[in-house]
Every structure is written in structure tokens, then in C-alpha cells.
Chains A and B, each alone.
Chain A
Amino acid sequence: MRSFYPFLLIAATIMTIGCNSRSTTTDPASSDTKNAKGDAGVKPVFSLAWSEYPSWSVFGVAHEKGLIDGDEGKTGPVEDKWGVDIVLKEADYDTCLAYYGASETDAVCMTNMDTLAPSLSRSSVAFLPTSTSVGADACIATDTADLASLQGKPTYGLEMSVSQYCFERNLELQGKTIADFPFKNMDPGAAAQAMQTGQADIQSIMVWNPFVMQTLRTRDGAKVIFDSSTIPEEIIDMVVIGKDALAREGGDAFVGAVVDTFYQINAMMADPKTADETLVDIGKKFSSLSLEDMKQVVQQTRFYATPQAAIDLFNGETFQTKTMPQVVEFCESHGIVASKPTIGFDDADAQVNFVTKYLKPATSK
């Protein structure tokens, strides 16, 4: 029987790993011993996953400026004010989506469209629109091409993403038949690179910033066929939290702190004294863009800089009765969601719930 022993040991190890794999950092209990500053009481820990994008890099900047401390067990003044510990997780956009879907993060920065798929299995609350794309997503083609000449030729971009949505919406607006304009999958970075290096078979791409700016600058004769400026307030960048996480103790305070942080940085961008410096900081966390580039970027990625602007969006009739149903329709017809999630506005039962109650100016509590 001795020869059996090592095998059983291995089998037992595998099973132990399976059962005991790391508990989530979001478990409030796990922060017990880690409250480094040792200030009164233990703050509940909440995580926020973000990827580099103009209105999301704000959170990285807030960490750098010391408003919040994105490490577990450490807090900044905003966190102290609200009594929560915000843990920032920076990752690739797709990875952020995966984190959120797997409940590895409490809140995540994502678009209104990408919120639908995970919401089927994890009810979501969208509490902060950060920006909308007004030209930040663009279809770029090489010199001779115009929309008519693109007919039958493939456009490359990320399938089942806002790129494809923006592409089809623009065709629709121009009265074209979508089936006449094939959309082929390619990573936006790779597509932009292919066009910039002048590959003959890539004549048209549909990408987002910074690739739009980069491609227009690098490839002579590349021009914008159409972009998201025709569909303002349809592609919304936002911060979303799982309903399960929001219900945890301190959930409201966490959301409040995130909103507070966002508007504090926006106030710095609005103040002429700190505006440029803040933009430069954001640029550092968005593909290392310069001040000049960032000035253009924030034109194309229009921030919802005040609570009122955000409330007007979420409460707006167009958004509620036209945009969201349209986005849901798109997601269902393209197989992004197997069934339509229920969309609500201040409706706690909805799978995707847009709420405005947390949208308050940065100074008040």
C-alpha cells in the first residue's frame, strides 16, 4: 500500500486547492487585521476595477493625488470622510469585465452596453455616468474611401462591442443596409496598428481612442468616415456596482465616496488654476497623452462633470425610452445577451438599475 500514498496525497492536495482558493478581498471580515492607520473602527472594504480611459483614469489620478488610497488597509481623506476603504484594481478593460462577472470586484467602470451581459447573472446598479462618447469612437478609412466605396469591404474592429454598435448605428442613420457593410473582428489595437503600418488588406477600421487619434496622426490620408458624434449620449461610460455588494454594510458610503472622488477631480478640471495640471495627470494614465491631446480627448469623451448633468442624462426621456431599449435590442440581436435583462430607473427590482440618488455635489455629504 505504500505506493498508493503519494497519489492520494496529490489527490487530496488538488481538492484542498479547489475548496480553499483565495477568499475575495471584498470580504469585510478580511480587513480586520489590515487597517494600517489604526484609526477608530474597521472600515468596510470595497473594490473598484478600472481601466485606462479618460473619465475612468480619474480614479487612478485620485489615488495619486491622495484623495483616496487604492491599497487595501490604507485610506485617504475621502475614504475617511465616508468611512470606507476603497481598493482600486487597475486592469485591461476586458479583464475588468471578467472581474465583475466573476464577482471578483464590487464595482467596475464599464459602458452601458457592456453592463447588460453580466447583469443577467449579477444584478447591477449604475450609479455614476462618467462620460459619453462624442467622436471618441470612429470609423477610419484610407484616403480614397468614402462611405459608398466601403460597401462590401470589411471594416475591422472589436465585435460585440461599442465599436460595432456605433458602426451599425451610423449606417442606420445614413439609411444604409447593414448587411452590405461587413464588420470583421480584430482587436482595436491591432487594427489601428495594421492601418498605421499601411497593410493593404485593412482599408477601414472602427476603433476607439487613443487609437483614433493615433491612426489619424500616423497614417497619411486616413480620414474619419463617421464617428460617435452622430450618436451623443448613446455610448455611456459609467461606474456600476453589483446589487449584492451595494447591499453590504457600507455599500451606500462606498458609492458616495466614489461619486465624491469623481466630482472632486472634475472640480479640479474646471478650475482654471488646476485644469491643465489635472489633464496632464489624467493623460499620464491614458496612453501617456500630452496636454494638447488630452484637450482634444475630453472634447470627444465628454465628461458628466456635475451631478446635474448626470441626473439629466439618467432621468432624460431619450435615454430611458429610446437609447437603452435600442442598446438592449442591439445586444439581443447580436447574441451578446441570451435574453433581455430588465432595465429600470430607480427600480430596485430591475437587473440593470440606473439610480440618481447618489449623485450629489462633491462638497456635501
Chain B
Amino acid sequence: MIRQPVSTGTRWILSAIAIGAMFMAYEAISFRQTQKNPKQTVVPGVTSITTGWQKLTTPNKRGETWLVEDVKATYGRLFLGLGLGIGLSIVVGVAMGAYPWIEALLVPPIAFFAKIPPTAMLAVYFVLFGTKLEMFVAMVGFSVFFTLAQSIYQAAKKDVSDDGVHKAYSLGASSGEVIYEVLWKQILPRVIESIRLQIGPAMVFLIAAEYVVGDVGIGYRIRIQSRILNMDVVYIYLILLGASGLAMEWALTRFRRWLCPWFGE
């Protein structure tokens, strides 16, 4: 029978097994590589995490620490881009959900651009926004904007019943009040969920852009260091990316539950 519940204890054990299997799989690959070449550094053993950490946290001649510089750069770009993209998509998405003429006007371009992966138009971004911070922010911003605007306007259109809107109007609310009090408050949890789902893709595009034109940042470091086979550094950044992604997801879920407890889990 499906959906048979398991106890909390079993849950923990199974999670531990999965994590253990992950490490074992990694070690197995590392072992295979070591058999090919005993001195390999491509898939170093799990313990190499310490050497990688050392490289990342030891200040260089100019007193810069890779970890600090890269994290500042990458997450600075990410949050700026996310902030702009989210802000813009909320305004546009809600407007589209509220006014059918705006919807009719904007659906074709937004639906079209949402389907083009920003990495495919990297060159266009360079031409339009240069190769500095503006470009990274634009890349992240637009990568979330199109998809997010779509899901927000869908929510504003479908998740809010006409009844509710009409009731508010007949009780004397202005259009602005209906949008804020009825429409916005009802779709807020959906908006937060949609944002949560967009962080992953945004990171993909950011790392790709850093890979090509970054002179600092996680994508840049991964490219340069893997080129000279310093894979211990690379694996730490992979772990960091995974952990930070999980943390952001968790934070947004908590935020949604706190802000909209009526929405449920």
C-alpha cells in the first residue's frame, strides 16, 4: 500500500543511510580514479576537504581570502538580481492579473522570453549590459522575472475568486484596496513559493555568467581552479552551493508559514 507512514526514528535512519551512501559513492569513484592514477587530484578522498578549505581561507599576497571575496561577490550579485527581478515581476504580475488589457498586452513577450534560457543569450547580455555587476544583476533579474511574472499573474487571476473581488467592491473598496487587501494578500504565499522555486535557476545562470566573464566569484573560482586541477577547492564550493540553496529554501518556507499561517504547510 502506498503512503504507509514511517516512524520518525525510521525516517532518521533512512536519511542517514542515504547520506552515507552518498559518501560511499563518492569514495568509490575516488578509489577508482586512484587506481588509474595513484597521485590523482581530480576526485580526491573525502579528507581532502581540509586542504581545499585551507586554500580557500588563507589570505593571499594582497590580503584577500578567496572564500570571503567569492562569497561576497556571488551572493551580492544574486541578491541584487533577485531583488530587482522579484520586485519587477510582482508589480507586472499583479497588474496583469488585475487588468485583462495589461495581460493581453504582456502575455506574448513574457511567455516567449520565459522560454529562452538566459545562458543561451549570454552574448546579448554582454552587449546590452557590459561585463560588470550590471550584467550579472540583469542576468539574474531577467532569468527570474519572466517565469515569476507568469506564475504571479496566473495566481492573481485564478486563485482569487470573482466573488471575493465583487464583495469587496460592493462594500465600498477602491480598486487599489481590492488589489492590496483581496488579491495580494491571497496570492502572497504562492508568490513566496514561486520565488523559492526560482532561486535554483537563478543560481545556474549566475554561475554560468561568472564562469565566462567573472574576475571574482564562485563560478570564476571553479573554472580557474578546475583548469589547474585544484579540485579540492571546487568540491568545497559545490558543497557550499548545495548548502546555501537548502538554507534559502528553508528560510523562505519558514517565512511563508510565519507570514501566512492560514495557507498551511
Contact = CB atoms under 8 A, between A and B. Distances in A.
Range for the number of chain A residues in contact with chain B: 35 or more
Interface string A172-186: 000000000000111
Given A190-B131, A199-B130, A202-B131, A160 B228 contact: yes
Interface string B110-140: 0000000000000100110011100000000
Interface in A1-38: 2-4, 7, 10-11, 14-15, 17-19, 21, 24
Interface in B231-261: none
Interface stretch (A39-47, A115-123, A249-257): A115-123
B130 A201 contact: yes
A159 B213 CA distance: 11
B91 interface: no
Interface stretch (B29-37, B169-177, B197-205): B29-37
Contacts of A336: 228
Main secondary structure of the interface of B (DSSP, over half): helix
Nearest to B3: A3
Given A185-B215, A190-B126, A202-B131, A14 B224 contact: no
Most buried by B among A7, A185, A202: A185
Interface string A202-245: 10000000000000000000000000000000000000001010
Contacts of B21: 11, 14-15
Contacts of A15: 21, 24-25, 28
Given A103-B33, A121-B40, A14 B227 contact: no
A320 interface: no
Given A7-B14, A194-B126, A199-B130, A121 B39 contact: yes
A97 interface: yes
A94 B37 CA distance: 20
A238 B60 CA distance: 32
Contacts of A97: 227
Interface string B90-102: 0000000000000
Contacts of A17: 25
Given A21-B32, A160-B227, A197-B127, A185 B220 contact: yes
Interface in A74-125: 94, 97-98, 101-103, 117-118, 120-122
A186 B215 contact: yes
A269 interface: no
A323 to B, nearest CB: 20
A194 B215 CA distance: 15
B224 A185 contact: yes
A312 interface: no
B28 A184 contact: no
B224 A159 contact: yes
Nearest to B229: A101
Contacts of A187: 211-213
A337 interface: yes
B228 A24 contact: no
A121 B37 contact: yes
Given A18-B24, A19-B32, A199-B130, A121 B220 contact: no
Interface in A112-162: 117-118, 120-122, 159-161
Contacts of A160: 224, 227-228
A2 B3 CA distance: 12
6 contacts: A19-B28, A94-B227, A102-B43, A103-B40, A194-B131, A199-B126
Q: Which 7 A-B pairs have the closest CB atoms?
A: A18-B25, A18-B28, A185-B215, A117-B228, A121-B39, A102-B42, A184-B215
Interface of A: 2-4, 7, 10-11, 14-15, 17-19, 21, 24, 94, 97-98, 101-103, 117-118, 120-122, 159-161, 184-187, 189-190, 193-194, 197, 199-202, 242, 244, 335-337
